Amino acid sequence: MTAEIRTSDGELLSVKLKKVERRRRTTAFLLAAPLLFFIVFAYVIPIFQMLGRSIDNAEMNSFLTETHEVMQTWDGSEMPGEDVTSTFYYELKTAVENKYHGKIATRLNYEKGGFTSLIKKTSRKLKNFDENANFLDQFIDVHKKWGDIEYWQALKRGTDAYHFRKYLTTFDYEQKFDGSIERIPEKLRINVTLWLRTIFVAVGVTFCCFILAYPISHLLSVLPTRYSNLLMICVLLPFWTSLLVRTSSWMVLLQKQGVLNDTLVSLGFVADESRLELMYNMTGTFIAMTQILLPFMVLPLYSVMKTISPSLMRAATSMGATPFHAFRKIYFPLTYAGISAGSILVFVLAIGYYITPALVGGAKGILISNRIAYHMQQSLDWSLATAMATVLLIAVLVVYWLYNKIVGIDNMRLG
C-alpha cells in the first residue's frame, strides 16, 4: 500500500487538490451555464416533447377514459355489450356538454374514415336518447355505421394512451383491426417512395458536391493568399444571402421561360418548342441543393488540404511516381478526413432539406421533409409528422454512428 501523500500543512494531497481546483471548475461551469440552460430548455426538451407526440394519445384517452377501460374486457369479435355502449353514451354526453366532441371526432377519424360525420351526427341526436332503452340499438338508429363492428374496434384502439401505429404508416404499413400488419393499398403508398427519393437525393447531392468541391478546394489551398481570399469570398457568398433568395434565383434561372432556357434557345442548342424541364422535378432539386450545400463541402476539404505540404507531392514525384500516382497514393488519402467531414455534413443537411425541394421540386421533386411539413401544417396529423421526424433523426444518428466507427469523430475538421 502506498503511503498517503500530504501537503506541508498536513492535508491530504488529493483533498487539497480538489479544494484548489473547485473554484476554477465552478467558474468554468458558470460561464457555460447560460448556453447549457438555453439548449436544454429551448432545444432538448421541446424536441423530446415533439417526438413524444408520435406515440402519445393521452388526451384522447382522457376524453374517454371509462369507455377505454370497459372496452378492455371486450375482445372485439362481436358487437359490444351494453356496458360499453352505455359508458360511451355518458362520456360522449359529457364531451358534448363541454364542447370537446369535435376533437374526439377528428382523432377517431385518423383511425377510420367516416368518424367525423358519425360523431357529429350522434352528438346532435344524443339528447333524444332514452337512457333506459338499449343503447346499441339507439346508436344504430342514429347512424347505421354504428352497426359496423369496425367502428367499435376503431374506438377501442383510438382511445389507447399510446401506440406505435404511426411508425407503420411512416413506412406505408397499417395494422388491421384484427391485429395483423399489412402494406396499405398500392395507390395510397407514398412514404416509402419519398424515403427512397430522399436518400437518393442526399447521396447524389453529397456526391455532386464532392466532385465539384474537390478541385476548387485544392485550388484554394495552393493559390497565393491574394487570389485565394477572393475565391473564398465567391465560395462563401451563398452563405451571406438568404436561402429563400437563392432558391428563388434558381427558379428564375431554371424555369421554362427562364434565363438558362432562353440562352440555350437563342444559341440554337434547344428548339423553342422543346425547352428543357429543369424545374418542378428532381433535376431542379438536385441543381439547387448542390449549389446551396457546396460550401459545406468546400470548407472542411479546404481546411484539410491547407495542411498538406506541397513538398509531399514533390517528394513523391522525385521518387519516380507519376503525378497521377502521387495524387492517388499520397494526396488523396491525406484528404480522407476532409472528404468524410464534408460528406457527413452535406448528407445530414440534405436528408432533412425543406425549402428548396418545396419551391423548385414540384410534385416529383419533394422529399420526406416536405411530407412532414404537410402533416404538420395541412393534414394536422402531428403524430404522423413527428413519427416521420423521429425516423429521420434516427437515420441521421445511425449515419453519425457509422462515421464515428469508420473515421472517428475526433478526425472531423469543419474549417
Residues that bind other proteins (CB under 8 A): 309, 311-312, 314-323, 325-326, 329-330, 333-334
The CB-of-323 to other proteins minimum distance in angstroms stands at: 7
Element (H, E) at 173: strand 173-175
Contact 299, 415 (CB under 8 A): yes
Nearest alpha-carbon partner for 296 in 350, 254, 255, 332:
350
3-state SS, residue 9:
coil
Which C-beta is closer to other proteins: that of 100 or that of 327? 327
The CB-of-337 to other proteins minimum distance in angstroms stands at: 10
The CB-of-411 to other proteins minimum distance in angstroms stands at: 12
Which C-beta is closer to other proteins: that of 46 or that of 310? 310
Which C-beta is closer to other proteins: that of 81 or that of 323? 323
Which C-beta is closer to other proteins: that of 263 or that of 322? 322
Contact 173, 182 (CB under 8 A): yes
Q: How far is CA 208 from CA 248, 294, 353, in A?
A: 21, 9, 16
The CB-of-324 to other proteins minimum distance in angstroms stands at: 10
Which C-beta is closer to other proteins: that of 334 or that of 407? 334
Which C-beta is closer to other proteins: that of 32 or that of 315? 315
Q: How far is CA 197 from CA 113, 254, 282, 398, 402, in A?
A: 29, 21, 9, 18, 21
The CB-of-305 to other proteins minimum distance in angstroms stands at: 14
Contacts of residue 294, defined as CB under 8 A and 6 or more positions apart, other chains included, come to 209, 212, 213, 235, 238
**Plot region of 271 (φ>0 → left; ψ -120 to 50 → alpha; else → beta):** beta
- C-alpha 155/C-alpha 151 separation (Å) is 6
The CB-of-304 to other proteins minimum distance in angstroms stands at: 12
Nearest alpha-carbon partner for 388 in 162, 163, 106, 55:
55
Give me 116's grid cell: 367525423
The CB-of-326 to other proteins minimum distance in angstroms stands at: 8
Which C-beta is closer to other proteins: that of 18 or that of 325? 325
